[in-house]
Amino acid sequence: MSKNKKMQVQGSEITFLQIDQQDYISLTDIAKHKTDDSSATIGNWMRNRNTIEFLGVWETLYNPDFKPLEFEGFKRQAGLNPFTLSPQKWVNTTQAIGFVVKAGRYGGTYAHKDIAD
């Protein structure tokens, strides 16, 4: 069961989602604070090698179903010019639990509070 809460942070409304007693923060709302193109901002962050390595470590620690071989493929490509990665592709390929991606009018990309910090 998910439950939404909103909070004002530095003049922007940020959505928090709670799923199974775990808090997720809207990366979409955070990115909108700086730019109108939040998906490009999130995508650029996901391309970074340090981001991929951090996500891999986090998933290894907290997710018994994480697929490390698929992670290694992303890690090898991270930082190269043609490399792109969306949170949805990360979740679908590695069985990650650190992101929740919701489509539609009230959708967005949410990251576990450990990741969004």
- Ordered by start, the domain boundaries in the chain are 3-115
- Integer Cα distance of 89 and 75 in angstroms: 14
Residue-level pLDDT at 107: 85
Predicted confidence (pLDDT) per residue in 20-49, tens digit: 999 999 999 999 888 888 989 999 999 999
Note if the pTM is more than 0.85: yes
Q: Residue 41: how many CA atoms within 13 Å on its side-chain side? A: 14
Confidence category of residue 7, pLDDT binned at 50, 70, 90:
confident
Is the pLDDT score of 58 beyond 70? yes
Is the pLDDT score of 1 beyond 70? no
